[in-house]
Amino acid sequence: MTEHETDPTYIDALEWFVRFKDKGFTDADRAAFERWLGEAPSHAQAFQRAEALWKRFDIVVPEYKQLKASDRISRRSVVFGGLTLLAGASLLYNLSRDGLFADYKTEIAERRSFTLPDGSLVELGGYSALSVEFDSGQRRLVLHRGQAFFKVAADPGRPFVVHAAGGTTKALGTQFDIRLSGNGAAVSVIEHAVEVRGLNVSSVTIDAGWQVTYDGSGIGPATQIDIETVQAWRSNRLVFEDVPLRQVISEIERYRRGRILLADSTIGDIPITAVFDTAQMDSVLVNMAETLPVEVINARGYLAVIYRR
C-alpha cells in the first residue's frame, strides 16, 4: 500500500475525477469542485497523482473543456487539479465520523458482542457504532452507523427503543436486526415483533421473519425474509440476492480497509447475487472483475475504482 493511497486529499481527488465522468455532473458540482481546488496547493498535487493513475490504466479521462474555472483559479491549477475528488468528499468524511464518541464501536472488519446494563445483548457488525442512554423510564439507543443485532431483556416498565436514520424501532419481543444503508435503514425481526416508526410519524408492527425498510420518504412495505440470510453476517458471511452493486459496495467497505469508487453511477445498478466470506474480503473485487462486466483498478489496494468494461 502506497502512502498516497491513504491520503484523504488524494482520495478526494480521485472521487472528483470519478464524478466528472458521470453524466449527472452538474453546474453546482463544478462550482463545488472549483472551491475545493482553490483551498490548498496540495489539491492540485493530488489531482496530478490521480491523473497519472488514470493514464496508467488507459482510461478515457474527462475533457478540459468540461471544466469552467472561476477567475481566481488559473488554467494550470485546473489542469493539475481537475481530477481532484468531489468536494462532497469532505462532507462524506465528516458523516463517516458519526458515532465518534459512541459507547460501543467496532472497527473495519471487526465484530463484537456487548451486554448492556439491563442484561440485553448487542452484537455489532463491521465499522458500527451505538450509543446507549438508559434511565428509570426508558432504554434509548442510537445506531450511528453499520449494523446491529439486539436480543432484548424483558423490562415492561422501560421501553427498549433504537433510533437509526431518523426512525425508531421499539422492541415488542426479543430479537431483531437493524442495518443502516444510504439514508435509510432495514429492520429485520428474528423473534417476536417490533414497532417501526418512520420520519412521517406513521408506524408499522412487523413479526418474526419479516423486514421493513425506511428512509426520508417513509416506510416501505413489509417483505418476508430468510432469517439465516439476514443473520449471515454474524457467522462472518455477507449474502446478497439481486442487490444493487452500490449497496453491496457499501457493505463490503465495512469489512475491507480502503475505499471503493464507481466510475459512473449506472454501474451501481448492476444486480449482485453472491456470498462473501468477511475474512477474505481482499479477493472480492478480483472475483467481481472476473464475473461481472466491469474492470477494477487496484483491486487489492487501499483505493479501488470500478468502471464498466
pLDDT digits (tens, 9 = 90+) for 54-89: 665 555 444 433 433 333 223 223 222 222 222 333
pLDDT bin (cut points 50, 70, 90) of residue 22 is low
pLDDT at 232: 95
The DSSP symbol for 98 reads T
104 and 174 in a single domain? The answer is: yes
| Mean pLDDT for the chain overall | 81
- Mark whether 72 and 157 lie in a shared domain: no
Total domains in the chain come to: 3
Spatial contact of 218 and 199, defined as CB atoms under 8 Å apart: yes
List pLDDT tens digits, range 29-52: 888 888 888 888 888 788 777 767
Beta strands at 259-262 and 303-308: parallel, antiparallel or unpaired: parallel
Asked if residue 210 and residue 186 are part of one domain, the reply reads yes
Residue at which a domain ends, from 168, 194, 227: 227
Sheet with strand 160-164: strands edge to edge = 104-105, 129-134, 139-145, 160-164, 167-171, 193-197, 203-207
Q: 189 and 124 in one domain? A: yes
Q: Sorting pLDDT into bands at 50, 70 and 90, what band is 202?
A: confident
Q: What are phi and psi of 4, to 5 degrees?
A: -70, -20
Residues 77 and 30 in one domain: yes
- Residue 296 domain boundaries: 236-308
Confidence of residue 96 (pLDDT cuts 50, 70, 90): very low
Asked if residue 204 and residue 137 are part of one domain, the reply reads: yes
**pLDDT value at residue 47:** 75
Pairing of strands 160-164, 139-145: parallel
Grade residue 53 by pLDDT with cuts at 50, 70 and 90.
low
182 lies in the same domain as 242: no
Domain boundary among 180, 202, 227: 227
Single residue among 94, 114, 147 that ends a domain in this structure = 94
Higher pLDDT, 209 or 283: 209
Query: CB under 8 Å to 98, separation ≥6 — which residues?
Result: 129, 144, 145
CATH number of the domain bearing residue 259: 3.55.50.30
Same domain? For 161 and 266 the reply is no
Q: Are residues 106 and 223 in the same domain?
A: yes
Q: Quick one: 112 and 188 in the same domain?
A: yes
Stretch among 15-24, 179-188, 221-230, 231-240 having the lowest mean pLDDT = 15-24
Same domain? 181 vs 254 = no
**pTM of the full structure:** 0.72
> CATH code at 208?
2.60.120.1440
Pair (195, 121) in one structural domain: yes
Q: State which of 28-42, 52-66, 137-151, 273-287 shows the largest mean pLDDT.
A: 137-151
267 pLDDT exceeds 50? yes
